[in-house]
Structure 1
Amino acid sequence: MSFDSDNDSEDDVCPLCCEELDLSDKNFLPCQCGYRVCIWCWHTIKDHMNGLCPACRNPYSDDPHAFAAVDRDDVIKSEKRKRRLARQHALLHLPLVQRNLVYVVGLPPVAASEEYIRRPEWFGQFGKINKVVANLNQGLPPGDARHGSASAYISFVHREDARACIHSVDGFVLEGRTVKANFGTTKYCNSFLRHLPCNNNECMYLHELGDEEVS
């Protein structure tokens, strides 16, 4: 997923080798027809192939049609932008432990609803719950121990409530099933990484720096 509309432009990639065009390539136009390739591909075509422009089929000259020297400040800005985008991309796919999020499996089927999960005799007893996503595991094969059971992501307002929930629930036997509970993992919200407000009220992703998952 791109973070900048410029990344979606075909002008940012050489059409022959599909490598990203650097600033020198973007200031380089080998043919008057306007078909842009990177400097490396231009040299390869001119010195080792037929020497013709892939678009208009006119021969390349020894001197490019247009070339402008690269400004040092532009190079610095470009490198900073690349590092920023690389960091954003890495953070977007980084699994994180969310200390106020509890993931529970092995619940009875009746618990596959937000209303049931929030009950004070159920998970509501551990503290104020922010969001709940509950699922009934119907698609699993009959031999799977989770078949016919429910699972849930429960987001508590306070971390200590999530910790207390895990301590009390994990390993508890309910209706012949052993319930398993642990901190849930999540990812950063794309809007957060782009320094934009998130307009999705149901967004379960992180909107602040979290704890990295250690595997």
Structure 2
Amino acid sequence: MKANMSLEPIVNSIHSQQTPQQDVDKCVDCPLCMEALDYDDLGFYPCGCGYQVCRFCWNRLKNDENGLCPACRQPYPDSPIQFSTISIEAVEELKKKKKKQKEKQKLKDAAKSQNLSSVRVVQKNLLFVIGLPQRLSQEDLRKEFIKYGKILKMVINQSSAYVTYSRPEDAVAAIKSLNETNNNTNKSNQRSGSNSATQQQLRASLGTTKYCTHWLRSQSCPKQPDCKHYFPIYL
């Protein structure tokens, strides 16, 4: 689309012999359309402030819109301030620079993965309960906790369990109710003189989970939206 564009101020400035597009990787993006600049656009600066856009966007701004530079807000001149083709050597240098930037970003991502792999994140809609009776069934657990809100998932592990609610406020309500019951039970035991240490009590708090390994690797998780680990893009 850009290659077929005809702009009178530009045509006379283009070299008669151009390097084939396939020989040059696109290295820079136009800040307006976010498309990679063509080879001949790399040396195109339509405004004296130095703000670089592709010829297609320049033509659109100048002829179809207000004709002002998006950066300095001054009217575009009739002819580009600077328009010169870039040598193959310069393009190769840009390619190397971009490659180094990608390598640096990969190193940063790897460091992030290593630092966060052992970190646990508090899940505001995840209830963690300990002190459950042995051999408690999924159905019994659901009957006990569904009164606080809609349950998305439950996992029982011996005397503890994770209950995932659809809303964070439901998990908070369950924690508040269970802890109040515990406090009342403790006070009752103290008044009666019974040994509360021998009695099993439920204790609840917000649950924690690790970061999803796919997210740490900048990959999409195939288990979403049901992944049990923390995947920020879905929260």
The AA in structure 2 aligned to 1:102 is L
Q: Distance in 2 between matches of 1:92 and 1:210?
A: 18
Bigger mean CA deviation after superposition, 197-206 or 184-193:
197-206
| 1:208/1:123 CA distance change after superposition, 3 Å | same
The answer to whether the aligner puts 1:186 opposite 2:209 as a matched pair is yes
Asked if the contact 2:225/2:234 (under 8 Å) is kept, the reply is no
Distance 1:209 1:154 in 2: 21
Deviation at 1:209, TM superposition (A): 5.6
Partner Cα distance (2:181, 2:222) in 1:
37
How far apart, CA to CA, are the structure 1 residues paired with 2:150 and 2:234?
20
Match in the other structure for 2:146: 124
- 2:138–2:156 Cα contact (<8 Å) kept: yes
Alignment correspondent of 2:181: 172
Aligned twin of 1:107: 132
Gaps of 5+ in 1: 1-70, 137-149
- Give the conservation status (yes or no) of the 8 Å contact 1:171–1:179: no
2-structure distance, mates of 1:159, 1:75: 43
How far is 1:109 from its partner?
A: 1.8
The normalised TM-score by structure 2 is 0.47
The 1:118/1:207 distance shift into structure 2, 3 A limit, reads same
Unaligned runs of 5+ in 2: 1-95, 186-197
- Cα deviations across residues 109-129 of structure 1 (Å, max 9, x unaligned)? 243x2211111xx11100011
Change (3 A) 1:210 1:103: farther
Q: Percent identity?
A: 31
Whether the 8 Å CA contact 1:172–1:178 is kept in 2: the answer is no
SS for the counterpart of 1:178 is: coil
Residue 204 of structure 1 aligns to a residue whose secondary structure is coil
Q: Does 1:135 align with 2:157?
A: yes
**1:181 is paired with a residue of what secondary structure?**
strand
Does 2:97 align with 1:88? Answer: no
Please list the CA deviations of residues 126-155 of structure 1 after superposition, one character each: whole Å capped at 9, or x if unmatched.
00111111122xxxxxxxxxxxxx211111
Greater relative contact order, per chain length (Cα 8 Å cut-off, separation 6+): 1
Aligned partner of 1:158 in structure 2 is: 167
State the shift of 1:192 in Å. Answer: 3.1
Amino acid at match of 2:109: R
Q: Distance in 2 between matches of 1:201 and 1:190?
A: 14
Higher helix share: 2
**Residues 72 and 203 of structure 1, relative CA distance in 2, 3 Å threshold:** closer
* Aligned Cα root-mean-square deviation (Å): 3.0
CA separation of 1:101 and 1:180: change in aligned 2, threshold 3 A: same
Aligned length: 127
Partner residue of 1:97 out of 122, 128, 148? 122
Paired residues of 1:102 and 1:184 also in contact (CA < 8 A): yes
Contact 1:192 1:198 in 2 (8 A): no
Moved over 6 A (4+): none
What is the rounded CA distance, in whole Å, between the counterparts of 1:210 and 1:89 in structure 2? 21
Of the structure 1 ranges 86-95 and 101-110, higher mean CA displacement relative to structure 2 is found in 86-95
